[in-house]
Amino acid sequence: MLTLFWLFFMSATFLIRIDVPDSRSVAHDASLEAAGESVLQYGLGLDAEVTGENRLTELLSQSDYDGACTLLQDALMSGKEANCWLAKNSATSNPYGLVGTPSGNTVTVHQLVTVDENVWTISLTLWNIGGGA
């Protein structure tokens, strides 16, 4: 009886084959995350043109939401694109700037920014274009 069970088990494992795909590279996600964090730091590092701590918070305080997102999207390195989402205090995030359709996998990077008495959540959803990594 034990021999029959063993033969059945071994034939089943021979016939049943499960293909497990390789996991995605962590480096792929890391390059997108690093690009998003760099862009956010770039926007926070630019000097304000008139008033404010930096250019990004200046645009947010002037209600120039498309301008704030365009500033970040234009700073992205070539081969990467992003959708920019803004949320004021506890409101729902809305897309601003150029809105594209991601091709492939995406990574989202978030940054909290205080402007006057408001807290802004800036989110960048990034993806690669043109086969870049």
Note the pLDDT tens digit of each residue in 14-33.
Answer: 556 665 555 565 666 788 99
**Dist CA 62 CA 28 (whole Å):** 36
Query: For the whole model, what pTM was predicted?
Result: 0.75
Could you tell me the strand order of the sheet in which 107-115 lies?
94-96, 80-88, 118-128, 107-115
Nearest to 122 by CA among 77, 69, 55, 82: 69
Could you read off the pLDDT of 118-127 as tens digits, one per residue? 999 999 999 9
Q: 55 and 46 in contact (C-beta within 8 Å)?
A: yes
pLDDT at 9 over 80: no
